[in-house]
Structure 1
């Protein structure tokens, strides 16, 4: 069994895998890392490997405390990935984006793939049909858009995410909801249309914490999977150990 963990900006997501099968998933705060991982390991004693992505030095030290119980693998740029990295600055490409690209490459062989990860930031990552990672884009996520309007203006309130009733806002709050939600939906649909114009046969994968909220509002056909990063993390690790 493998315990795959993704360390986000605020929370940690984890999944226990047996092969490609998800046995159980978890979400917990960063400050509860030690006790949460300890409990997962106790509840699943057959877990032999802990695979971790997107960590800083503080988190790495915390995870290394489990090395006396199981193997700990930090996904890094030195791992073997199933694509050629054509990014202009390959060492600056985030590990989470590389893992998503790897998952798309392995799951959809021989196809053009665009992975959209809607979390704190929205990332767009494109791997072509020849398994070449070409790059993508990064923009603010839903929460960042609300927070930026509040923090960088004098009077706009800090709102919680809410589905707008119309694209025409009739109040300050409804105008902000329309701008944030509809703005991001139009952005995502716009990016997809741009890619489809050049690559008519393309697979679109939407993941991240806001994937389910956004999926039903997009006009384009997509595959929505909020667990895609962790599934890709498991697949990437399997690929690495089989091709190292």
Structure 2
């Protein structure tokens, strides 16, 4: 069994896999990371292999514990990935983006793939049909847009994601919901349309914390999978060990 750990900006996500099957998923605060990982290990004592990725500074105590109690694959830029990286600054490419690109490459072979991760930031990552990573885009995530409107103005309130009743907001709150949600939906549809115009038959995968909220409201055909990063870690582990 494999324990996959994704350390994000605000949360830690983990999952236990048996081969290709996801057995159970966990989400917890970063502050409680080590204790919660220990609990998962106690529940699944056969999970003696692990793989971990982090978008920022790794938790040294958690990293040390995984090294001592499991056979750890710590995902870094030095790992072998299943695509050619054509990013102009490969050392600055986020590990989470590389993991998602790897998962898309392995799960959807011989296709153009666009992975959209709707988390704290929205990241777009494109791998073409020849397994070449070309790059993408980064923009503020949904809640970040609400936070920015509140923080950098004098009177706008702090709101949380809610589908606006109409694209014409008839109050300050409804106007903010329309701007944040509809603005992001227009952005997502616009990016997908651009890729589809330039490349034939693009497979679009939407993941991240806001994936389910956004998926049903997008015009384009997509695969919505909030677990895609964890599944990509599992696929990358299997690929690395097969190598």
**Contact 1:118 1:209 survives alignment (8 Å):** yes
Q: Partner of 1:46 in structure 2? A: 46
Write out aligned runs for 1:1-244 (5 A).
Answer: 1-54=1-54, 56-243=56-243
**Contact 2:55 2:94 survives alignment (8 Å):** no
The alpha-carbon distance between structure 1 residues 57 and 172, as it changes in their structure 2 partners (threshold 3 A), is closer
**Aligned-pair distance for 1:237?**
1.4
The alpha-carbon distance between structure 1 residues 96 and 146, as it changes in their structure 2 partners (threshold 3 A), is same
Q: How many residues align?
A: 243
**Aligned-pair distance for 1:63?**
2.3
164-173 vs 71-80, which moves further: 71-80
**Aligned-pair distance for 1:65?**
2.1
**Contact 1:64 1:72 survives alignment (8 Å):** no
**Contact 1:146 1:180 survives alignment (8 Å):** yes
TM-score scaled by length of structure 1: 0.97
Cα deviation, 1:99-153, whole Å, max 9, x if unaligned, reads 0000000111110000000000000000000000000000000010000000111
Cα deviation, 1:66-109, whole Å, max 9, x if unaligned, reads 33321122101101100000000001100000000000001111
Give the gaps of 5 or more residues in structure 2.
none
**Contact 2:104 2:115 survives alignment (8 Å):** yes
The alpha-carbon distance between structure 1 residues 114 and 184, as it changes in their structure 2 partners (threshold 3 A), is same
